[in-house]
Amino acid sequence: MPAGGAGTYQIGTFAVVARPSWSERVLVRAGVLQGGAANAGPQGVGAVGLQGGTPPSSSVDLKALEGAARQLQALSLREPRDKKDRKKDKKAAKKKQKKDKKKSKKKKKDSSSRKSKHVKYDDLSHVDGLKWKKKGDLVAFAAKHPGALTAHFLAGVYARLSKGTMTRTSQLREASVAAWAHQFTGLSEIRDLKEVLTLAEILDSVNRREIERAMDILCQRILAIQVAKMKGGSWEKAEAIELVNTQKSLASSSMLALTNA
């Protein structure tokens, strides 16, 4: 028997050709360690049915060798099959993830549509009929009815833009405060218009559930005010770090004003 893993192993009248990569597996499966018959003495030699110091006999356990060969073949076939299975599982997992995302989006959409209720204009204009005797009354009302002031404002925007009244609460999300700000604020000062346009963009983003964008606009607005008021600063420099392009917005609002005139 050769000392290395590769080569031809003579066992009785049979020759087993082994490769370095898998010969050890074959012998281990058959109950023989590689080189064990040569180095382990009579005990190791006896494992393959040979007696120490005597020529090899033909009483080798051929069934064990055949079983080891079959196991080796199964192992070589299993590896590419396992890779295919892993790829299939990965693909199936990605498909399931996409499906779950679609279901989640659909659920959110369905839940928002289910929450939409019929509403009367009188309910939305109810705020107009309230009288605030002192400053704390308005704060108390807002705390007791969160969102009521926003609903009242958006209903007015919707009515002004579409020249109609709302019939469902879901229509509040259709009101574009930015579009309203371009035409109907009644403001003439450039600085005031820019401020309202920025706030309108923030409100529209929140109304569209784009909370991250609304926060970005708000944060950059705070930083812009700081830049404008610091030593050596100006509103021109401040506009460079704002996300709302008020120059373009003001130009478009001027064109709309001329069209409506």
Per-residue pLDDT tens for 131-152? 778 878 888 888 988 888 888 8
Question: pLDDT tens for residues 52-72?
Answer: 444 554 445 777 777 787 877
Domain termination site, one of 24, 54, 79: 79
Q: Does one domain contain both 54 and 23?
A: yes
Report phi then psi at 168, rounded to 5. Answer: -135, 150
Interval 148-162: pLDDT, tens: 888 889 988 998 888
Residue 235 resides in a domain: yes
Q: Is the pLDDT of residue 227 over 90?
A: yes
22 and 48 in a common domain: yes
Regarding whether 151 and 122 lie in a shared domain, the answer is: yes
Query: Is 217 found in the same domain as 258?
Result: yes
Q: Give domain status of residue 96, yes or no.
A: no
Q: Which structural domain, as residue segments, surrounds residue 29?
A: 7-79
Provide DSSP, 14-55. Answer: EEEEE-TTTHHHHHHHTT--TTHHHHSHHHHHHTTT--TTSP
Claim: this prediction has a pTM higher than 0.75: no
Which residue among 152, 175, 198 closes a domain?
175
Pair 158, 204 in one domain = no
Q: Which of residues 64, 79, 94 is at a domain's end? A: 79
Q: Is residue 1 part of a domain?
A: no
User: Residue 100: inside a domain, yes or no?
Assistant: no
Q: Total structural domains in the chain? A: 3
Residue 158 lies in a domain: yes
In a shared domain, residues 192 and 168: no
